Amino acid sequence: MKLGPLNHVGVATPSIDEAVTFWRETMCASVIHEPFDMPEQGVRVCFVDTPNSQIELLEPLGADSPIAGFLEKNPQGGQHHLCFEVPDIEAARSRFEELGKRILGPTRIGAHGTPIFFLHPKDMGGILTEIMETPEKPADETGKFAWAQ
């Protein structure tokens, strides 16, 4: 394994609509993708591009959303997780398992359409860490950009 790009910073928010206004008007983001629901993950998602990475806005979808607890503790929202790319998700999963890191659930398809899994923050220096297989598809299909092409 080799540390890949920081694909995105996951940011929880009580309202994607309000967060999009913030990122557009206060932070002057010029590329904000269309929000979409991921019911199987219990979140509504919206990607905001920076020139080199992305902010993944996450709004809870339903009362049992995995980010509901985070928003109870942080009602305004805030930094939720970091997502790093790897070329081979299964190799990465095996490696983290061998290191004794707690993996949160099965490998599943993430917001960029490639396999992902999460690692327990207590095993990762306090950081909820998402590991994501690098997408092969071009930018307009995955929301990725020039630096990763």
Here's the x/- map for a copy of itself, 108-147, by CB under 8 A: it reads as -------------xx-xxxx-------------------x
142 burial via Cβ count (<10 Å: 0-12, 13-18, 19+):
middle
Here's the x/- map for a copy of itself, 68-107, by CB under 8 A: it reads as ------x-xxxx--x-x-----------x--x-x------
25 included as an active-site residue: no
DSSP 68: H
User: What part of residues 1-60 is at the interface with a copy of itself (CB under 8 A)?
Assistant: 1-6, 9, 11-13, 19, 22-23, 26-30, 48, 50-53, 55
State both tokens at 71: 């928003």
- Whole-angstrom distance, CA of residue 26 vs CA of residue 24: 6
As a whole number of Å, the CA-based R_g of the chain is 15
Among residues 130, 133, 136, 141, the one annotated as catalytic is: 130
Q: Residue 57 or residue 61: which is nearer to a copy of itself going by CB?
A: 57
142 three-state secondary structure: helix
The string of DSSP letters for 77-95 reads: -EEEEEEEEES-HHHHHHH
Strands 54-60 and 43-49: antiparallel
Interface with a copy of itself by CB under 8 A: which residues?
A: 1-6, 9, 11-13, 19, 22-23, 26-30, 48, 50-53, 55, 74, 76-79, 82, 84, 96, 99, 101, 121-122, 124-127, 147-148
